Structure 1
Amino acid sequence: MKNIFILFFFISFIGNAQVLGEIRSQYSKAVESPEVTEKLYGELAKISTSTKPVLHAYKGAILTLKAKFSKNKRDKKDFFKEGVSLLESAVELDSLNTEIRYIRLSVQENSPKFLGYHKNIEADKDFILKNYGTLSSKTLKILVKDFVLNSNNFDETEKLGLN
């Protein structure tokens, strides 16, 4: 029985890692592509409350992108509200996760001003700058660095400090 539990845990861990790797590689592409957004949404639709908070953050971010690409005003509002709720929930569950802070910052930075979802930009920016060096995933480091280099919220000194 113990061996079955260990096998299940290992398979679950590998499955989550593969899903997370795919989501990371496609997330920045989803910003400009309704097709990639829908593909990622399909992957993330099966995410439950028992999964990793970082997957909730990505699911929330993808919902805000669905809002961006939606033609229906009500859908735009509903997708955005649900996305922000999931994203904030992920931050509450794991506030020390740099990847979650990067995801939230990317959503806030790209949200229209009239939606008022910008209150944590400075906190997330500071958190990313302080914790960038502790990221263990080379892929994640590249993603975060690319984001920072293309962001208007980081000045040149801050961008150079990531090297």
Structure 2
Amino acid sequence: MKIISALFLFFFMTTDVIRIEDIRDSYKTCTVSKEKADQFYELTEKALQNDGAIYQGYHGAALALKASFSWNPFNKLSYFNKSKKVIDKSIELEPDNIELRMIRLSIQSNAPKLAGYYKNIEEDRDFMLANIDKVNNEGLKAYLKGFIEHSDVFSNSN
């Protein structure tokens, strides 16, 4: 019985649950520096242990950040291509998830046109505007409204 108790305690002490709120907070500042981007990447990588497409979506965003801070063209392309696949797959899993649409919109609107990842900007912007009032979680709604207020995509659409 002591072995089972010890294993139980070890398991719960070594698995840190990553809260979505912590990921959102980190996402707000992850573009400030390479160090912040690396911290965001590590956080989202750990969060992949959680169930839900949202964790995959944020990890896809973290991969895009790794691409933006990479100096090696091969690594830059590799990270970015993986990022696109992860983000798009997360939206395939949950197409009505407004937060996933925000993630893709934030990446596509900041990616260089040369990368060719910009085809959903208008669709995601319109989806967010049409669905923001349906969000019941007040914390999430405030987060999304903050994105809308600070994103050039929305200021250019008015």
Could you state the TM-score of these two structures normalised by the residue count of structure 1? 0.80
- The residue that corresponds to 1:102 in the other structure is 102
CA shift for structure 1 position 91: 0.4
- The residue that corresponds to 2:65 in the other structure is 65
Question: Could you tell me the percent identity over the aligned residues?
Answer: 34
* 1:31-50 pair list within 5 angstroms: 31-48=31-48
Give CA deviations for 1:19-54 in whole Å, capped at 9, x if unaligned: 211000110200222112111211222344872101
Alignment partners' CA distance in 2, 1:61 and 1:107 = 7
* 1:2-151 pair list within 5 angstroms: 18-48=18-48, 51-151=51-151
Q: Is the 8 A contact 2:91 2:101 kept in 1?
A: yes
Q: CA RMSD in A?
A: 2.4
Alignment partners' CA distance in 1, 2:45 and 2:133 = 32
Q: Can you give the 5+ residue segments of structure 1 that lack an aligned partner in the other structure?
A: 1-11, 159-163
Q: CA 1:157 to 1:108, structure 2 compared with 1: closer, same or farther past 3 Å?
A: closer
Q: CA 1:16 to 1:83, structure 2 compared with 1: closer, same or farther past 3 Å?
A: farther
CA shift for structure 1 position 74: 1.0
Alignment partners' CA distance in 1, 2:50 and 2:22 = 20
Number of paired residues? 146
CA shift for structure 1 position 139: 2.4
Moved more, 96-105 or 67-76: 67-76
CA shift for structure 1 position 142: 2.0
Give CA deviations for 1:38-96 in whole Å, capped at 9, x if unaligned: 11211222344872101100000011011001111111111111111100000000000
Amino acid at match of 1:24: R
Q: Can you give the 5+ residue segments of structure 2 that lack an aligned partner in the other structure?
A: 1-11
Q: CA 1:105 to 1:67, structure 2 compared with 1: closer, same or farther past 3 Å?
A: same
Alignment partners' CA distance in 2, 1:141 and 1:16 = 26
Could you state the TM-score of these two structures normalised by the residue count of structure 2? 0.82
- The residue that corresponds to 1:8 in the other structure is none
Alignment partners' CA distance in 2, 1:104 and 1:40 = 16
- The residue that corresponds to 1:4 in the other structure is none
CA shift for structure 1 position 153: 1.9
Moved more, 106-115 or 39-48: 39-48
Q: Is the 8 A contact 1:102 1:128 kept in 2?
A: yes
Specify the structure having the higher radius of gyration (Cα).
2
- The residue that corresponds to 1:5 in the other structure is none
Q: Is the 8 A contact 1:24 1:140 kept in 2?
A: no
